[in-house]
Amino acid sequence: MGIEKALAGKEGFLTTKLEAVLGWARKYSLFQYPFVTACCGMEFMSVMNSHYDLARFGAEIPRFTPRQSDLLFVVGTINHKLSPTLLTVWEQMTDPKWCIAFGVCASTGGVYDNYAAVPGIDHIIPVDVYVAGCPPRPESVLKGLMRLQDKIQNRKLIDDYPELRADAR
């Protein structure tokens, strides 16, 4: 702490952990890829719009190519016919990447417990946050996004470099 005190009057900086800075920067600049399939898309439009305003959380800009985005919003039912597409989109995204299952259909299949729908996209890709509701109200989506921001903030640097782990060496 001595350095800070010495430099306080001149340049003005503070020390922190690299992890914390990375988390802070990442959680307020989420570039999302909306994989909108079904009914939840209507609520997704509401969330994006001025009334609920996702921009307050720094996640308002959709990137329509998976390669430029780091948050995958899976909005709506995924059926078996669409599952290869979802997997391809997820694999095209670059690390670090996160995924939100928007609504019960994406989370568990919801009411569509039948031959066509995938019972939860976690059968296909890993999911970070599940938002319940059919469709979820915009408030719960914002809650889900804040949960994800917490998760990003608490991400450990070692998670980005799994090959540096002690047990991997």
Q: Is 41 in the site for another protein (CB under 8 A)?
A: yes
Binder of another protein out of 26, 27, 30, 37 (CB under 8 A): 37
The residue from 19, 60, 61, 83 that contacts another protein (CB under 8 A) is 83
Q: Is 106 in the site for another protein (CB under 8 A)?
A: no
User: Is 61 within 8 Å of 68 (Cβ atoms)?
Assistant: no
Selected binder of another protein within 3, 8, 21, 42 (CB under 8 A): 42
* 112 binds another protein, rule: CB under 8 A: yes
User: Which value, to the nearest 10 degrees, does the dihedral of the CA atoms of residues 41, 47, 48, 52 take?
Assistant: 160
Residue 67 or 123 having the CB closest to another protein = 123
Give the Cα separation of 108 and 101 in Å (integer): 9
Reply yes or no: is the peptide bond before residue 162 cis, omega within 30 of 0: no
Q: What is the DSSP string of 46-115?
A: HHHSTTT-GGGGT---B-SSGGG-SEEEEES--BTTTHHHHHHHHHHSPSS-EEEEESHHHHH-TT--SS
Judged by CB under 8 A, does residue 39 bind another protein? yes
84 contacts another protein (rule: CB under 8 A): yes
Smaller CB distance to another protein: residue 22 or 119?
119
Nearer to another protein, 15 or 50 (CB): 50
Q: Does 101 bind another protein (CB under 8 A)?
A: no
| Prior bond of 34 cis (ω within 30°) | no
Q: Is 23 in the site for another protein (CB under 8 A)?
A: no
Please list, in sequence order, all residues whose beta carbon lies within 8 angstroms of the beta carbon of residue 65, skipping any fewer than 6 positions away: 33
Write the DSSP symbol of residue 154: T
User: Residues 50, 163, 166, 168: which binds another protein (CB under 8 A)?
Assistant: 50
Residue with tokens 């780091």: 70
Footprint on this chain of another protein (rule: CB under 8 A): 35-39, 41-43, 45-46, 49-51, 62, 64, 76-77, 79-85, 87, 89, 111-119, 122-126, 134-135, 137
